[in-house]
A and B are shown apart, each in its own frame.
Chain A
Amino acid sequence: MILPVLGLCVGIVLGSLTPILIPLAYSKFFSVALLASLDSVFGGLRAAVSGNFNDAVFISGFFTNALLAAFLVYVGDRLGIDLYYVALLAFGFRIFQNLALLRRQLLRKHG
């Protein structure tokens, strides 16, 4: 469990040090992509705990989810449909679901 946390820390440090800023116009897409990645990570953790983890599925899911979410929001923006909130709701819902499953699995294993 140390390695993912270490990776997260390294990422945060890297992100804080690089002088990249998201332009205001794209901040919406980026935040959705971020949420999608967060969802993927929780999904991956749950899969790892429950024992059906697959590297390829995890990595591809992580990137496609993030890109697709941003793309969908972009298309929605162009069409005048606010898919931003839809994505927010869907990913938020899934994150909590994955979190609940993760908690249960861990409790069952250690309990």
Chain B
Amino acid sequence: MKNIKQGRWSIACVCMVLGFMLAVQFRTTEDMKQSLPYQRLEELADRVIRTEKERDELKEELGKIKGRQDPGMIDEELRIQAGLVPLEGPGVIVRMDDSTQKSKAGENPNLYVIHDEDILKVVNELRAAGAEAVSINGQRLVGRSEIRCAGPTLSVNNVRSAAPFEVHAIGDTTALENALKMRGGVAETLKVWGIQMEITSSDNVYVPPYKGSRKLTYAQVTQEKEGKK
């Protein structure tokens, strides 16, 4: 065993360092095992705080909206004008569907399907005839609504829907009907291509409220400026 004695001090020193490292590593591992659930706990607590904050903000917003509603009739009138209230009354329901005719060889098949322009024309006629509230496939038309081609579908209030389309309009029943059916009008033009259009008048046409976003990000309230267009 003489050889071992030769380096016993250095080995002892190194063993001490090794023991130190071992102990530290052991404790670190133990600590990690213990702290893992704590990390999860912290994460969950953080999420709870965030959700609570969000809830409080929403509550505040709700309170504001409710408070705004209270002042009564003028506000309700504004809400009706803005299209935020469901309405019912006499009017027409226009059902439109793609053509049943087969497109002839060499003819553009696009002529036989309903386009955003066709719907736009119908809506334009209805409004010109004094329609008070209009909805397309359950989407209320308000000042910010678009009627736009979205691939094979139609996008209104950023909600897409496909044919058949159902346009509800509240107003003078005969005026609305005549506006669509007049000679050279929308109904006649579309009939050429075989596009189905069925106009029914009813005493209680339902028009749903606008449900889309009402947030204004860019526009700000300002004073009226004279002479500016």
Contact = CB atoms under 8 A, between A and B. Distances in A.
A37 B15 CA distance: 9
Contacts of A8: 15-16, 18-19
B24 A45 contact: no
B17 interface: yes
B7 interface: yes
Contact of A16 (B1, B3, B27): B27
Interface of B is mostly: helix
Given A6-B12, A7-B11, A27-B32, A37 B18 contact: yes
Contacts, number: 120
Contacts of B10: 44, 55, 58-59
Contacts of B7: 44, 47-48, 53-55, 58
Contacts of A6: 12
Contacts of A80: none
A45 to B, nearest CB: 7
Chain A: interface size category = 35 or more
B13 interface: yes
B10 to A, nearest CB: 5
Size bin of chain B's contact surface: 20 to 34
Nearest to B23: A15
Contacts of A45: 11
B17 A11 contact: yes
Nearest to B12: A7
Interface in B6-58: 6-29, 31-32
Contacts of A33: 21
Interface string B128-152: 0000000000000000000000000
A3 B4 CA distance: 10
A4 B4 CA distance: 10
B28 A10 contact: no
Interface in A1-36: 1, 3-16, 18, 20-22, 24, 27, 30-31, 33-34
B8 A31 contact: no
Interface of B: 1, 3-4, 6-29, 31-32
Interface of A: 1, 3-16, 18, 20-22, 24, 27, 30-31, 33-34, 37-38, 40-41, 44-45, 47-51, 53-55, 58-59, 62
